[in-house]
Amino acid sequence: MSAVLLAGVVFVNLAVLQLNLAVDKATQERTQLRATTAQLQSQLSAALASPRIQAQARRVDGLVPADPSTIGYINLTP
């Protein structure tokens, strides 16, 4: 009886140890993923920056901002 109890205690302790190791590994992965996410977010924001896109559109595609006076507005009120 005591032997079974002792074996059970050892088994539970081993299981807890293994779970703690898994938690440690998951925490490390989470930290790494957060770092990667933040870095990607920063890169995305930099890529979406208006001045960069405008400069590239001007340089690569030869686009220029539309003259506001050429834009027409439709008044839908009766």
Partner 1 sequence: MATSREKQANRRIRLLLAVFALVFAGLLGRGFWIQAVQAGRLAKLAHGQHQKTFRIPAGRGTIFDRTGVELAIGEQMTTVFADPQQVVNPSAIAIAAHKVFGTDSNALYPALLNKKSQFVYLKRFADPLEAARFLKKGFLGVSSYQEERRAYPQGGVGSQLIGYAGIDNRGLGGLEFQYDHKLAGHSGTQTVVRDAIGRSINVISSSPVQEGADVFTTIDHTIQANAEQVLQAAVLKWGAKAATAIVLDPTTGEVLAMAQAPGYNANNTGNVKSALTRNRAVTDAYEPGSTFKLVTVTGALSEGLVKPTSTFTLPVCIHVANYCIHDAEQRGVVTYSVAQILKYSSNVGAITLAEKLGKSRLAQWVDRFGFGHLTGIDFPGESAGFALPVDQWSGSTIGNVPIGQGISVTPIQMASVYAAVANDGVWVQPHLVDRVGGHAPFKPKRRRIMSPAVDREVKAMLTGVVTGGTGTEAAIPGYTVAGKTGTGSIPGPHGYSDSTGYMASFVGMVPASKPRLVVLVVLDRPRGAIFGGVVAAPAFQSIAKFDLQYLAVPPDAPRTALSAG
Footprint of partner 1 on this chain (CB under 8 A)?
16-17, 20-21, 23-24, 31-32, 34-36, 38-39, 41-46, 48-52, 54, 65-66, 68-69, 71, 73, 75
CB of 63 to partner 1, least distance (A): 15
User: H helices of 1-78, where?
Assistant: 2-48, 50-60
Residue (60 or 76) nearer to partner 1, CB: 76
CB-based burial, 25-56: b 16+ in 10 Å, e otherwise: eeeeeeeeeeeeeeeeeeeeeeeeeeeeeeee
Smaller CB separation from partner 1, 7 or 21: 21
